[in-house]
């Protein structure tokens, strides 16, 4: 398609060999050198036409025409630097703002939690209270059969002291099965379940905290630190991609509730500090889960009327919320898409004005034999080149704006991180918006 099996010089040499053989044959019949040569050319036919047929058979003419149009389009853009600069800047602003906004919406709403099979996760809320007590959590775990596992999470602020340096950070008080249910394996050390018989306080730290406070050294595991004035042993380091289950928040320390909070406090059913997240078993449905949890809620309400009267366990999966999230995201993207529409309208207006100035040129090319389709392809190729340049500059602008996410996001005393990046999803969106 893009190259010939035989070179033009090889084909020309073959033609010359045929002419030489025919000339020699005619000379043997008594013709002079000049007469034989002329007769040989006449017998062979139009050599130029044969060379053109060879050229056309050796490659795809459509590709040649496209390359010619591409070169001509680049020359035309160079001849109009003002038009090119204004058009590229307009397209880059529209595409860059739209792609940046898509990357933010993707990171805020569309991208699932960074755990295996995140669509199987279900949030359990204890209405009308909201969060659950740890005692209710334990009873729910004993009675629930539709879930592979249920975890409890209580978020709060903690103060970590390492080498006499104290830092305020985000900590999660979690159930012992937290990492196993979420199927998150530590990059260093181990999780709580391996030491289920251990009674002294332990913690798993985030990858970011490990790099920031311990220099990424392996001796951070089994190191004794002070957390809220208590001695805590670090037993593992979470992977870099796992920052907790709250989008935007970065959890730095995870510690098991049963080794940190007193038994009496855990047994208080009116102490509702825990969010519950469960993972469905393969083959189970949300309808089955809701039916089972309706029964569990009635049992708890009847068994503990002082604290759980009127309890209703509401189940919400991320998969069920996705259509509503998708609708909201589409509305937001449609709103910001008006910026791109305005930019494209400006570029279209300038292109029409430029087209009026090129009427004589196009009329002359048509008079010289160019077909209407060829002229249309030429104009479309010029528009394609302009769009690609504008899109490329727009992606550079997007990458720069995304790198400023810490400045664009509202201030917070804790590290705020959304999974905002320019990846294949953003590139696909940018291409479709073109």
Q: What pLDDT, in 10s, does the model give residues 306-329?
A: 888 888 999 988 777 767 767 777
Contacts of 375 (CB under 8 A, 6+ apart): 362, 365, 366
Is pLDDT above 90 for 277?
yes
Region 184-200: what's the mean pLDDT? Answer: 77
What would the two tokens of residue 291 be?
């039916």
CA distances in angstroms from 250 to 155, 205, 236, listed in the order given: 11, 11, 17
Is pLDDT above 50 for 1?
no
pTM confidence score: 0.65
Is pLDDT above 70 for 383?
yes
CA pair distance 175, 133, nearest whole angstrom = 12
CA pair distance 400, 98, nearest whole angstrom = 13
CA pair distance 149, 11, nearest whole angstrom = 75
Which pLDDT belongs to residue 178? 92
Which pLDDT belongs to residue 25? 80
Least confident window among 4-18, 120-134, 173-187, 248-262: 4-18
Is pLDDT above 90 for 137?
yes
- Angle 94-109-326 from CA coordinates, rounded to 5°: 80
- pLDDT more than 70, % of the chain: 82
Region 386-403: what's the mean pLDDT? Answer: 83
CA pair distance 13, 6, nearest whole angstrom = 11
Region 256-280: what's the mean pLDDT? Answer: 85
Region 47-68: what's the mean pLDDT? Answer: 64
CA pair distance 410, 416, nearest whole angstrom = 9
CA pair distance 398, 97, nearest whole angstrom = 7
Contacts of 64 (CB under 8 A, 6+ apart): none
Q: Which residue has the higher pLDDT, 356 or 300?
A: 300
Which pLDDT belongs to residue 197? 58
The gap from C-alpha 21 to its chain's centroid, in whole angstroms, comes to: 67
Which pLDDT belongs to residue 405? 66
Q: Given the structure tokens 């196009």, which residue do they identify?
A: 362
Task: Sort strands 147-162 and 224-227 into parallel, antiparallel or unpaired.
Answer: antiparallel
| pLDDT tier for residue 330 given thresholds of 50, 70 and 90 | confident
For 76-114, the pLDDT digits (tens) are: 888 888 888 888 888 888 888 888 888 777 777 767 777
Q: Which residue has the higher pLDDT, 207 or 29?
A: 207
For 203-247, the pLDDT digits (tens) are: 999 998 999 888 888 888 888 888 888 888 899 999 988 888 877
CA pair distance 132, 125, nearest whole angstrom = 7
Contacts of 103-107 with CB under 8 Å at 24 or more apart are 103/398, 103/402, 103/420, 103/421, 103/422, 103/426, 104/405, 104/408, 104/418, 104/420, 105/329, 105/332, 105/333, 106/420, 106/425, 106/426, 107/418, 107/419, 107/420, 107/421
DSSP track, 272-335: EEEEEEEEEPTT--HHHHHHHHHHHHHHHHHH-HHHHTT-EEEEEEHHHHHHHHHHHHHHHHHH
Is pLDDT above 80 for 270?
yes
CA pair distance 329, 351, nearest whole angstrom = 32
Exposure pattern of 62-89 as b/e (b: 16+ CB <10 Å)?
Answer: eeeeeeebeeebeebbeeeeebbeebbe
Which pLDDT belongs to residue 262? 74
Q: How many residues are recorded in the chain?
A: 434
Is pLDDT above 50 for 2?
no
Four-residue CA torsion sign, 147, 149, 154, 155:
negative
Region 41-48: what's the mean pLDDT? Answer: 70
Per the DSSP assignment, residues forming a β-bridge with 280 are 147
Per the DSSP assignment, residues forming a β-bridge with 125 are 314
Least confident window among 34-38, 133-137, 156-160: 34-38
Mean pLDDT of the chain: 80
Which pLDDT belongs to residue 3? 47
Phi, psi angles (nearest 5°) of residue 217? -90, 145
């Amino acid at each position: 398609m893009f190259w010939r099996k035989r070179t033009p010089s090889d084909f020309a040499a073959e033609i010359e060999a045929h002419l030489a053989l025919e000339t020699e044959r005619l000379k043997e019949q008594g013709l002079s050198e000049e007469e034989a040569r002329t007769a040989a050319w006449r017998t062979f036919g139009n050599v130029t036409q044969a060379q053109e047929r060879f050229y056309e058979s050796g490659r795809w003419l459509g590709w040649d025409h496209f390359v010619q149009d591409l070169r001509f389009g680049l020359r035309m853009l160079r001849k109009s630097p003002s038009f090119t600069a204004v058009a590229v800047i307009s397209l880059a602003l529209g595409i860059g703002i739209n792609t940046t906004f898509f990357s933010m919406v993707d990171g805020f709403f569309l991208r699932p939690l960074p755990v295996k099979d995140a669509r199987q996760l279900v949030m359990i809320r204890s209405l009308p209270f909201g969060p659950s007590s740890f005692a209710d959590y334990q009873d729910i775990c004993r009675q629930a059969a539709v879930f592979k596992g249920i975890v409890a999470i209580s978020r709060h602020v903690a103060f970590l002291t390492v080498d006499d340096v104290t830092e305020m950070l985000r900590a999660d008080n979690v159930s012992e099965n937290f990492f196993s249910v979420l199927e998150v394996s530590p990059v260093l050390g181990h999780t709580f379940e391996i030491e289920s018989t251990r009674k002294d306080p332990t913690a798993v730290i985030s990858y970011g905290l490990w790099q920031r406070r311990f220099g990424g050294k392996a001796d951070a595991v089994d190191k004794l630190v002070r957390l809220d004035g208590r001695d805590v042993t670090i037993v593992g380091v979470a992977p870099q991609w796992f920052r907790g289950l709250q989008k935007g928040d970065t959890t730095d320390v995870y510690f098991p509730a049963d080794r940190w909070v007193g038994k009496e406090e855990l047994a208080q059913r009116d102490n509702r500090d825990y969010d519950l997240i469960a993972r469905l078993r393969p083959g189970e449905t949300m309808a089955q889960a809701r039916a089972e949890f309706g029964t569990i809620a009635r049992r708890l309400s009847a068994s503990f009327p002082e604290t759980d009267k009127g309890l209703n366990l509401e189940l919400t999966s991320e998969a069920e919320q996705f259509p509503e999230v998708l609708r909201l995201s589409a509305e937001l993207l449609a709103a910001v898409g008006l910026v791109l529409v305005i930019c494209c309208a400006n570029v279209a207006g300038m292109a029409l004005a430029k087209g009026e100035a090129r009427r004589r040129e196009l009329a002359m090319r048509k008079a010289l034999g160019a077909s209407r389709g060829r002229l249309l392809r030429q104009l479309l190729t010029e528009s394609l080149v302009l769009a690609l340049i504008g899109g490329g500059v727009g992606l550079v602008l997007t990458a720069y704006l995304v790198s400023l996410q810490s400045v664009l996001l509202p201030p917070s005393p804790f590290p705020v991180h959304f999974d905002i990046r320019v990846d294949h999803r953003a590139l696909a969106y940018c291409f479709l918006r073109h």
